[in-house]
């Protein structure tokens, strides 16, 4: 595979809610800080990658499943939003060659892998990418989580995918550092801060095996099950950390009052 002179970092991003980039009129400035942080990613990278591998919280499958569609359609996997948001388009090309490479790396690590030639982009992918690469001119492949959401398995997945960083592929885990739809707003201020503070210590304050061990035991963190009653929005972080190996982490986005009271963050590893 083609290598580059510098290894790309990996990211775990908080991707926001639903089709927010197309709701500026309805949302006002609520997403300005998140949008700015995502839009800054190309500057941080210093070059345009040949493709993005996106691991979204919104796709789970029995085996790790990679999108092989050369022209991915849209998956409007949300409800209750304005009618126009069910017509939005993010027409980035797929990358079947990358899909094959991803599948082979996963299989070589002894993990179950499938491909899906029909799958399209869900909002965990197309919403943040509309801010990162608004021209939709960077090929993107999505990779599912595996049902069961085993942290160790997803760390192992990240380790299997690490060679892609030297092949000019940007690995992004897309979720939310706090995701409890029944506890948003001011009531979530304290638990979201407690968990976010722990998360920053776990992934920025440590590296390597110490960091992995903290993430494996994430459910013991302060307010963990308030922040994540179900952990699908946290598990993409495990993939980003696994692919990061011993590279240090940095918090590249943070706010304490997102959506009326949430502490939320995004992280970069390496680079």
- How far apart, in whole angstroms, are the C-alpha atoms of residue 140 and residue 113? 18
Are 66 and 141 within 8 A, CB to CB?
yes
Looking at residue 5, its pLDDT comes to 59
* Distance spanning both ends of the chain, measured CA to CA: 20
- How far apart, in whole angstroms, are the C-alpha atoms of residue 103 and residue 112? 9
Which residue is listed with tokens 């993409």?
A: 236
Are 175 and 232 within 8 A, CB to CB?
yes
**Hey, what are 205's tokens?**
């304050």
- How far apart, in whole angstroms, are the C-alpha atoms of residue 219 and residue 184? 20
pLDDT tens, per residue, the chain with 271 residues: 555 458 999 999 999 999 999 999 999 999 999 999 999 999 999 999 999 999 999 999 999 999 999 999 999 999 999 999 999 999 999 999 999 999 999 999 999 999 999 999 999 999 999 999 999 999 999 999 999 999 999 999 999 999 999 999 999 999 999 999 777 778 889 999 999 999 999 999 999 999 999 999 999 999 999 999 999 999 999 999 999 988 999 999 999 989 888 999 999 999 8
8 - beta bridge partners?
none
Are 102 and 164 within 8 A, CB to CB?
yes
Are 247 and 270 within 8 A, CB to CB?
yes
Q: Say what the pTM is.
A: 0.96
Which residue is listed with tokens 């929005």?
A: 233
Q: Which of 57, 65, 59, 68 has its CA nearest to residue 111?
A: 65
Q: Which residues contact 110 (CB under 8 A, 6 or more apart)?
A: none
- How far apart, in whole angstroms, are the C-alpha atoms of residue 99 and residue 197? 36
Looking at residue 271, its pLDDT comes to 81
- How far apart, in whole angstroms, are the C-alpha atoms of residue 177 and residue 16? 10
- How far apart, in whole angstroms, are the C-alpha atoms of residue 130 and residue 134? 4
Q: Which domains does the chain have, with CATH numbers?
A: 10-269 (3.40.830.10)
Positions of E strands within the chain: 10-14, 51-61, 64-67, 113-116, 140-146, 169-175, 249-258, 262-269
């Amino acid at each position: 595979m083609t290598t580059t002179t510098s290894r790309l970092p990996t990211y775990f991003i908080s991707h926001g809610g639903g089709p927010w980039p197309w709701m500026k009129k309805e949302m006002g400035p609520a997403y300005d800080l998140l949008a700015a942080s995502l839009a800054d990613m190309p500057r941080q990278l210093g070059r345009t990658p040949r493709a993005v591998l996106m691991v979204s919280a919104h796709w789970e499958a029995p085996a790790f499943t990679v999108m092989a569609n050369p022209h991915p359609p849209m998956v409007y996997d949300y409800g209750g939003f304005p009618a126009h948001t069910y017509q939005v388009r993010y027409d980035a090309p797929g990358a079947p060659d990358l899909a094959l490479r991803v599948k082979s790396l996963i299989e070589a690590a002894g993990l179950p892998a499938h491909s899906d030639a029909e799958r399209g982009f869900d909002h965990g992918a197309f919403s943040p990418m509309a801010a990162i690469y608004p021209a939709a001119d960077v090929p993107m492949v999505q990779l599912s989580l595996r049902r069961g959401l085993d942290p160790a398995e997803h760390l192992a997945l990240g380790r299997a995918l690490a060679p892609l960083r030297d092949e000019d592929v940007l690995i992004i885990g897309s979720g939310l550092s706090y995701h409890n739809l029944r506890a948003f707003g001011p009531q979530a201020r304290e638990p979201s801060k407690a968990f976010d503070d722990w998360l920053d210590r776990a992934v920025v304050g440590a590296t390597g095996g110490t960091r992995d061990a903290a993430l494996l035991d994430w459910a013991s963190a302060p307010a963990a099950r308030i922040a994540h009653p179900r952990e699908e929005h946290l598990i993409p972080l495990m993939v980003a950390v696994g692919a990061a190996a011993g590279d240090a982490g940095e918090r590249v986005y943070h706010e304490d009052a997102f959506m009326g009271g949430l502490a939320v963050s995004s992280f970069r590893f390496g680079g």
